[in-house]
């Protein structure tokens, strides 16, 4: 039995062919993973399946209905979580759940949801004041209400920490019944590897459809195979780093947090955080959702006022001279913070002038960065129309446009496809070798391995600080059970993900 049957589906957006003569069946009662490069057509496909978009050619049947002409019959059977889920930011967590329960006409039974999402302690907090990952979890909880027959999840795990990601997966598996069909789009290939079926899309076409295990037995091999299918990744010298000129030489700590603290009411978002980052160092701020990472970033670039303490960028105190401190850094915010109605090129031009690049150099700098980031085909498109991964690329390009000696990257790779992630990290490590100081957060544990040092952050405090290897040794001491770790390639040491989980769980005990 198939929940979805698609034949020769084509969808155009102006000159762009988003879906190109695509045929696909989605089996009932199975979890199907949808994978593909940024802009490959995943979101378009999901929306067409439920009748939010009308195809130009081809046929679709969803749960036996025509999604265009029988939308009213179809909609009550569907749970759709779009990439940007419509939470009411000025309602609390519990009010959002109540509202969605009422819309779906189901009872107000939220205990299990709140427990799974770990949102129980925050049920009276406004949704707008939740961290990025907490919002994702609440969105998923609202989608799951009412036991839909067919769940379509558009990258639900973007920005969700490794522990919660396991919880989300478990939440979906436990909350659905054996008949429920799930179509789950994801950039996490380990996630896709654990599903029943994987569908890889490239430029609007299906290029693989089958069991993930048939493509490759381990998650790592699966990732490599998918990269091959998507055209492969060839590491090249980072042009951005090559053309980088550092403004000046600096003393010891290029980035320094000095007893930073942020309180909202009685709640400590960040509690007494101090560190010193050296020139050319890649410093990773890792931690569960809501740990206080973004709040730290915001204080360190002068966007949020610390309750106590301060930060120094290239020796300049951010609370005393925010403007001068900021001129030394490029900040890529977690949430898309570009001008949606401006085109890609206009955004870059805007940031070039805002960051003080001289008029005569602007055009060439913008041209260069468009090329390096592969944005040429999108240069004249409005940035709000870009797929998520491309928005991230553009945000990173904007943060780098003025060659800052310090870079703050708040989840630069969330929602970015696997090839672009490798490319981002190639730029990041090359820039660090040039002497750029980098403070970065990520929920991809493989990326944490690229960091020189990691601060593991939880409940607003540093619970561990050291090189990736030092943290792994610490986790091994706490959890010495001999355990082969075939994917880490480091013999007895645990993987970064295991390390993260062990250290967080240990801190919870205390």
Ligand X SMILES: Nc1ncnc2c1ncn2[C@@H]1O[C@H](COP(=O)(O)OP(=O)(O)OP(=O)(O)O)[C@@H](O)[C@H]1O
> Any contact of residue 139 with ligand X (CB under 6 A)?
no
Of residues 244-283, those binding ligand X (CB under 6 A): 264, 267, 269
| Residue among 51 and 287 whose Cβ is closer to Mg ion | 287
Site string for ligand X, 464-503 (x = CB under 6 A): ----------------------------------------
Which of residues 293 and 421 has its CB atom nearest to Mg ion in the complex? 293
Distance of closest approach, residue 295 Cβ to ligand X, in angstroms: 3
Instruction: With beta carbons less than 8 A apart as the criterion, state whether 456 and 464 touch.
Output: yes
**C-alpha separations of 31 from 81, 131, 340, 393 in Å:** 15, 28, 34, 30
* Per CB under 6 A, 295 contacts ligand X: yes
CB of 496 to ligand X, least distance (A): 16
Q: State the residue number with the nearest CB to ligand X.
A: 133
117 makes contact with ligand X (CB under 6 A): no
Contact criterion met (CB below 8 Å) for 269 and 262: yes
What is the rounded radius of gyration, in angstroms, for the C-alpha atoms of the chain?
A: 23
- If one asks whether residue 137 binds ligand X (CB under 6 A), the answer comes out as no
- Both tokens assigned to 493: 């040491």
Among 334, 420, 455, 502, binds ligand X (CB under 6 A): 334
Give the phi and the psi of residue 209 in degrees, each rounded to 5: -150, 115
- Which of ligand X, Mg ion, none does residue 287 bind to, with CB < 5 to 8 Å depending on kind? ligand X
- Which of 335/376 has CB closer to ligand X? 335
Residue 5, token pair as written in the block:
């049957």
* Minimum distance, C-beta of residue 293 to Mg ion, in the bound complex (Å): 5
* Stretch 150-189: interaction string toward ligand X, x if CB under 6 A: ---------x-x----------------------------
294 binds ligand X (CB under 6 A): yes
Measured distance CA(46)–CA(501) in Å, rounded: 33
- What does DSSP say about strands 78-81 and 437-441: parallel, antiparallel, or unpaired? unpaired
Residue with tokens 């190109």: 20
**Residues found in the chain:** 510
Segment 379-438, which members bind Mg ion (CB under 5 A)? none
Count of chain residues binding ligand X (CB under 6 A): 21
36 or 133: whose CB is closer to Mg ion?
A: 133
When CB distances are held under 5 to 8 angstroms depending on the partner's kind, the choice from ligand X, Mg ion, none that residue 389 binds is none
**Tokens 């492969």 identify what position?**
232
The reply to whether 294 sits near Mg ion by the rule CB under 5 A is yes
C-alpha to C-alpha distance for 267 and 459, rounded to whole angstroms: 10
Terminal Cα distance for the chain, rounded: 51
In the complex, what is the shortest distance from the CB of residue 436 to ligand X, in angstroms, rounded to a whole number?
Answer: 22
Q: Contact, 499 vs 472, CB < 8 A? A: yes
Q: Which of 42, 137, 165, 293 binds ligand X (CB under 6 A)?
A: 293
Least distance (Å) from ligand X to the CB of residue 302? Answer: 16
CA dist 348 to 221, 344, 368, 388, Å? 37, 6, 11, 17
Identify which of 336, 319, 318 has the alpha carbon closest to the alpha carbon of residue 327.
318
Sequence-distant (6+) residues with CB within 8 A of 7 are: 23, 58, 59, 60
Q: Which of 289, 403, 426, 502 binds ligand X (CB under 6 A)?
A: 289
CA 196/CA 181 separation, integer angstroms: 11
Q: Is 383 in the site for ligand X (CB under 6 A)?
A: no
Largest CA distance in the chain: 67
DSSP alpha helix (H) spans, 373-417: 388-400
Instruction: Report in angstroms how near the CB of residue 268 gets to ligand X at its nearest.
Output: 8
Q: How far is the CB of 191 from ligand X (least distance, A)?
A: 17
Q: Does 292 bind ligand X (CB under 6 A)?
A: yes
Rounded Cα gap, residues 354 and 281, in angstroms: 26
What tokens does 172 get?
Answer: 């979906």
Q: Which residue has the tokens 């959702």?
A: 289
48 forms part of the interface with ligand X (CB under 6 A): no
CB of 353 to ligand X, least distance (A): 29
Q: Which is nearer to ligand X, 265 or 489 (CB)?
A: 265
Query: Which of residues 77 and 126 has its CB atom nearest to Mg ion in the complex?
Result: 126
Residue 179 to residue 27: CA distance in whole angstroms: 10
Binder of Mg ion out of 92, 117, 273, 334 (CB under 5 A): 334
Kindly write out the interface string for residues 124-153 of this chain, putting x where it contacts Mg ion by CB under 5 A and - elsewhere.
--------x---------------------
Residue ranges in contact with ligand X by CB under 6 A: 125, 129-134, 159, 161, 264, 267, 269, 287, 289-295, 334
> Where do contacts with Mg ion occur on this chain (CB under 5 A)?
132, 293-294, 334
């Amino acid at each position: 039995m198939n929940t979805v049957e698609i034949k020769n589906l084509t969808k155009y957006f102006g000159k762009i062919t988003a879906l190109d003569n695509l045929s696909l069946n989605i089996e009932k009662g199975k979890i199907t993973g949808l994978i593909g490069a940024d802009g490959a057509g995943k979101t378009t496909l999901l929306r067409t399946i439920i009748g939010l978009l009308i195809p130009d050619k081809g046929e679709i049947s969803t749960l036996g209905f025509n999604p265009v002409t029988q939308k009213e019959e179809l909609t009550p059977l569907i749970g759709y979580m779009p990439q940007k889920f419509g939470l009411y930011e000025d309602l609390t967590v519990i009010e959002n759940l109540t509202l969605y329960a009422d819309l779906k006409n189901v009872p107000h039974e939220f205990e299990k949801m709140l427990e799974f999402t770990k949102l129980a302690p925050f049920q009276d907090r406004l949704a707008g004041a939740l961290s990025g990952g907490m919002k994702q979890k609440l969105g998923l909880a609202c989608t799951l209400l009412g036991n839909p027959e067919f769940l379509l999840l558009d990258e639900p795990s973007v920005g969700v920490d490794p522990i919660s990601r396991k919880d989300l997966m478990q939440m979906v598996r436990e909350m659905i019944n054996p008949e429920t069909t799930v179509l789950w789009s994801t950039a996490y290939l380990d996630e896709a590897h654990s599903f029943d079926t994987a569908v890889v899309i490239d430029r609007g076409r299906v290029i693989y459809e089958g069991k993930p295990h048939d493509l490759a037995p381990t998650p790592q091999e699966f990732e490599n195979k998918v990269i091959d299918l998507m055209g492969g990744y060839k590491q090249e010298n980072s042009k951005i780093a090559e053309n980088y000129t550092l403004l000046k030489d600096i003393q010891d700590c290029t980035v320094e947090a000095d007893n930073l603290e942020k309180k909202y009411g009685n709640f400590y978002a960040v509690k007494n955080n101090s560190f010193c980052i050296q020139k050319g160092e890649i410093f990773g701020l890792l931690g569960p959702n809501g740990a206080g990472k973004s709040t730290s970033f915001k204080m360190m670039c002068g966007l949020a006022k610390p309750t106590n303490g301060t930060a120094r960028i290239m020796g300049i105190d951010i609370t005393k001279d925010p403007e001068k401190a900021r001129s030394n850094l490029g900040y890529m915010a977690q949430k898309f913070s570009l001008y949606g109605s401006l085109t890609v090129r206009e955004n870059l031009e805007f940031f070039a002038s805002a960051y003080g690049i001289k008029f005569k150099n602007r055009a060439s700098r913008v041209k260069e960065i468009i090329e390096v980031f592969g944005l040429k085909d999108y240069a004249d498109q409005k940035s709000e129309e870009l797929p998520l991964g491309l928005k991230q690329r553009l945000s990173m390009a904007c943060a780098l446009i003025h060659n800052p000696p310090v870079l703050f990257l708040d989840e630069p790779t969330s929602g970015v496809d696997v090839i672009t992630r490798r490319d981002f990290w190639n730029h990041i490590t090359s820039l660090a070798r040039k002497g750029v100081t980098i403070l970065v957060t990520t929920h991809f544990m493989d990326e944490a391995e690229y960091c020189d040092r990691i601060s593991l952050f939880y409940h607003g405090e540093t619970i561990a600080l050291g090189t990736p290897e030092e943290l792994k040794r610490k986790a091994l001491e706490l959890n010495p059970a001999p355990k082969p770790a075939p994917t880490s390639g480091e013999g007895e040491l645990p993987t970064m993900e295991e390390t993260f989980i062990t250290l967080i769980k240990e801190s919870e005990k205390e």
